[in-house]
C-alpha cells in the first residue's frame, strides 16, 4: 500500500477551438486551447491537496478529469495505483464511488423540489441499498454527521441557508462512502463566518473518517488553513508545488509570490488583479518560453524563449522557474521571496 490514494500522471486536456471566418478563408489550422497540460500530482490517504490559480488556469478542468467526468487527451488517473478507467465493471464502479464531489454553488447543486432527505437517499439507492427503512435511517445518520438533526430530512433546500445547503451537499457526497472528495470552490459562495464553519466541518470529517481531499480554489487563505500540499497552476501547467507550510513560508515562483501578496489574510491587497502585473494571456495562444514571462518582474532573456522544467528547490518544493534552474543563470535578479511588480520600462513585454 505504498502507492498514493489518487495519482495523475501527465494529465492533459486540449480543446480545438472553432475556426473563425478569417481562419477558414486563410486555410489556417484551428487553434488549440491547452486547458490542462502534462499535470502530475498525487494525494495521500487522509491528506488534503490544494489546487490554486487564477480564473482560466485550468483548475476546474483538472477537477473534472480527476472525477472522470471528462476524458483526458493524454495521461491517466490512478486510484490505489490502478487506472481509474481499468477493466471490470464492478471494479470501475467502486473506483468511481471512491471519489465524490462537492460543487461550488449550494444554491444550484440541490434540486429545490426535492427534500434534502430525498437528495441523499437517491445516492443510497444508486449504491444498491434496497431497503427503504435502511435508507431513511442512513439519511438521518448522515445529516447528524454534518450537524443537522435527522428530522430535517423533510425540509426543502429553500428552507436552509447557503452554509446549510453546502452541509447537505457534503452529506450527499458521504452517502457513497468515498475515500476522497474533490471540493471545487466549496466555500467561495459563502459569507466569511460561514466559510469557517464549513471548513471546520471538512476538517472534522477528515479526522473522523480518514478522508482525503482535493481542494480547488482561487483563495490561498483557505488553503493555508486546510491544505497539506499545494499545487499552483498557471495556464494549465504546474508552476509550483510542495508542502503547504513550506510554500506559504517561502514561495519560489514569482506567480505564487503574487498570489500570496493578493491573499486577504496573507498580504496587503484583496485583489489578485491589482498585484499581478498585466492581464492573463490568451490561453489558446500562450506566450513562448515561460508563459508567465509577460507579467514577471524578474524576466530574463531565457524566459522568453525556453520553457522551464519543474526543478526541486529543497524540502519537497518544486518550481518551474529559470531563477531556480540547475545550473542557475549567471546573473539572478534580486528576490527575497516577495513579489514586486516591475515598472513598464523594466519589463517591456508585460501587458499594460
pLDDT in tens, 154-174: 999 999 999 999 999 999 999
Provide CATH 3.40.50.300 ranges for the chain.
1-7+33-249
Q: Which residue has the cell 479526522?
A: 207
Between 264 and 76, name the one with better pLDDT. 76
Mean pLDDT on 23-39: 74
Task: Please tell me the distance from the alpha carbon of residue 235 to that of residue 267, in angstroms, as a whole number.
Answer: 23
CATH class of residue range 1-7+33-249: alpha beta
For residue 272, give Cα distances in angstroms to 80, 255, 256.
37, 10, 11
Strand partners, 78: 7, 83
Between 61 and 333, name the one with better pLDDT. 61
Mean pLDDT value across the chain: 84
38: left (phi over 0), alpha (psi -120 to 50) or beta: left
Across 222-255, b (16+ Cβ under 10 Å) vs e yields bbbbbbbbbbbbbbbbbbbbbebebbbebbbbbb
Nearest to 51 by CA among 262, 226, 171: 226
Q: Which residues contact 54 (CB under 8 A, 6 or more apart)?
A: 218, 234, 259, 272, 276, 280
pTM (predicted TM-score):
0.86
Nearest to 274 by CA among 36, 49, 54: 54
C-alpha cell at 30: 484551428
Task: Please tell me the distance from the alpha carbon of residue 191 to that of residue 287, in angstroms, as a whole number.
Answer: 37
Q: Is residue 322 predicted with pLDDT exceeding 50? A: yes
- pLDDT at res. 343: 43
pLDDT tens per residue across span 272-307: 444 566 788 888 888 999 999 999 989 999 999 999
Q: Is residue 99 predicted with pLDDT exceeding 70? A: yes
Q: Calculate what percentage of the chain has a pLDDT beyond 70.
A: 82
Amino acid at each position: 500500500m505504498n502507492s498514493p490514494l489518487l495519482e495523475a500522471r501527465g494529465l492533459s486536456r486540449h480543446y480545438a477551438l472553432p475556426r473563425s471566418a478569417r481562419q477558414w478563408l486563410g486555410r489556417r489550422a484551428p487553434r488549440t486551447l491547452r486547458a490542462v497540460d502534462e499535470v502530475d500530482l498525487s494525494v495521500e490517504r487522509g491528506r488534503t491537496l490544494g489546487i490554486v490559480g487564477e480564473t482560466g488556469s485550468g483548475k476546474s478542468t483538472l477537477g473534472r478529469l480527476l472525477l472522470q467526468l471528462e476524458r483526458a487527451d493524454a495521461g491517466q488517473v490512478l486510484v490505489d495505483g490502478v487506472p481509474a478507467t481499468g477493466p471490470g465493471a464492478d471494479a470501475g464502479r467502486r473506483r468511481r464511488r471512491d471519489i465524490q464531489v462537492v460543487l461550488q454553488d449550494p444554491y444550484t447543486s440541490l434540486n429545490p423540489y426535492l427534500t434534502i432527505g430525498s437528495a441523499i437517499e437517491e445516492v443510497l439507492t444508486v449504491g444498491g441499498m434496497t431497503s427503504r427503512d435502511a435508507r431513511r435511517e442512513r439519511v438521518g445518520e448522515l445529516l447528524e454527521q454534518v450537524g443537522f438533526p435527522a428530522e430535517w430530512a423533510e425540509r426543502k433546500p429553500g428552507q436552509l441557508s447557503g452554509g446549510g445547503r453546502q452541509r447537505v451537499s457534503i452529506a450527499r457526497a458521504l452517502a457513497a462512502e468515498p475515500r476522497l472528495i474533490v471540493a471545487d470552490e466549496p466555500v467561495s459562495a459563502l459569507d466569511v463566518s460561514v466559510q469557517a464553519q464549513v471548513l471546520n466541518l471538512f476538517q472534522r470529517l477528515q479526522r473522523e473518517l480518514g478522508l482525503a481531499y482535493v481542494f480547488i480554489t482561487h483563495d490561498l487563505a483557505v488553503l493555508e488553513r486546510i491544505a497539506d500540499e499545494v499545487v499552483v497552476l498557471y495556464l494549465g501547467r504546474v508552476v509550483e508545488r510542495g508542502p503547504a507550510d513550506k510554500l506559504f513560508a517561502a514561495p519560489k515562483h514569482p506567480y505564487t509570490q503574487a498570489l500570496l501578496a493578493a491573499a486577504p489574510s496573507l498580504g496587503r491587497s484583496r485583489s489578485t488583479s491589482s498585484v499581478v502585473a498585466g492581464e492573463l494571456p490568451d490561453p489558446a495562444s500562450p506566450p513562448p518560453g515561460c508563459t508567465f514571462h509577460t507579467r514577471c518582474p524578474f524576466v530574463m532573456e531565457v524566459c522568453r524563449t525556453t520553457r522551464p522544467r519543474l526543478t526541486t528547490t529543497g524540502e519537497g518544493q518544486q518550481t518551474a522557474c529559470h531563477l531556480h534552474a540547475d545550473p542557475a543563470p549567471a546573473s539572478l535578479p534580486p528576490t527575497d521571496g516577495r513579489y514586486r511588480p516591475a515598472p513598464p520600462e523594466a519589463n517591456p513585454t508585460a501587458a499594460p
